[in-house]
Amino acid sequence: FDFQALSGRHVCITAGPTREALDPVRYISNHSSGKMGYALAEAARDAGARVTLISGPVNLAAPDRVERVQVESALQMLDAAMESLHDCDLFIAAAAVADYRPVAVAEHKMKKGSDEIMELRLTKNPDIVASVAAAESRPFTVGFAAETRDVLQYARDKLSRKGLDLIIANDVSAEGIGFNSDDNAVTLIGPDSEETLPQSSKQQLARQLINRIAEHFNEQTKA
């Protein structure tokens, strides 16, 4: 592990789920624990970077010497991400952002009616990592792709559709890795590179990923 790979750099990382409120007591969310994003924040810090960790609601303590910005919804995460951009060199999106949010948030707790079926109307959330990649004077931008089938193919689609520099393909259907587990296994994909990192703890994997990402980043900033 190279303890200076990112020295003097500012790394911004999103982590955890978002919560999309339905009413004052209910929300739509997912099973992201924040473990992967927090491990990346620690690894980036250990590689010498100043780290901003934009975190959805999780049960993890803020890592030492990392600036944590806590958010709930995708819209709040987008605001925090855009605010971090003015001096961010490298952006890594590990958060599991809800793709949709309720069209309206009820002011009071929704009452159970007599109907057997209740329909929710949802509207698309903005794509945070794509917005970052499209920003003026953009940072080196790395996304994840959480897929349950055709993992590498869908990841490559997301790499180009979202305008990213690298994407980390994550098979979230496999037992023991992905959402909420302590381990992960991924493939790091660039426009003309592909490297598989076998199953290990999210801490160990984060260190490998940060090393590899820093190499790609330093290569690009040299060019």
Q: Mind telling me the catalytic residues?
A: 30
Give residue for tokens 């940060």: 210
140 is known to lie in a ligand binding site: no
141 touches ligand PMT by CB under 6 A: no
158 is known to lie in a ligand binding site: yes
Select from 5, 20, 33, 44 the one that contacts ligand PMT (CB under 6 A): 33
35 is known to lie in a ligand binding site: no
> Rounded to 5 degrees, what angle do the CA atoms 136, 208, 168 make?
50
- What are the start-end ranges of the H helices in 7-146? 35-46, 74-84, 128-134
Question: Which of these segments, 5-13, 65-73, 104-112, 141-149, binds ligand PMT (CB under 6 A)?
Answer: 141-149
129 is known to lie in a ligand binding site: yes
| 7-10: Cβ within 8 A, 24+ apart | 7/47, 7/48, 7/49, 8/48, 9/48, 9/49, 9/50, 9/89, 9/90, 10/49, 10/50, 10/51, 10/52, 10/87, 10/88, 10/89, 10/90
Give residue for tokens 């890795």: 177
Residue nearer to ligand PMT on the CB measure, 146 or 214? 146
C-alpha closest to that of 203 among 43, 32, 85:
43
Distance linking the first and last C-alpha atoms of the chain: 24
151 touches ligand PMT by CB under 6 A: no
180 touches ligand PMT by CB under 6 A: yes
73 touches ligand PMT by CB under 6 A: no
Residue nearer to ligand PMT on the CB measure, 113 or 198? 198
Q: How many residues bind ligand PMT (CB under 6 A)?
A: 29
102 touches ligand PMT by CB under 6 A: no
User: Interface residues with ligand PMT (CB under 6 A)?
Assistant: 14, 16, 32-37, 74, 93-97, 99, 125, 127-129, 143-146, 158, 170, 172, 178-180
Which residues contribute to the annotated binding site? Answer: 99, 109, 126-129, 144, 158, 162
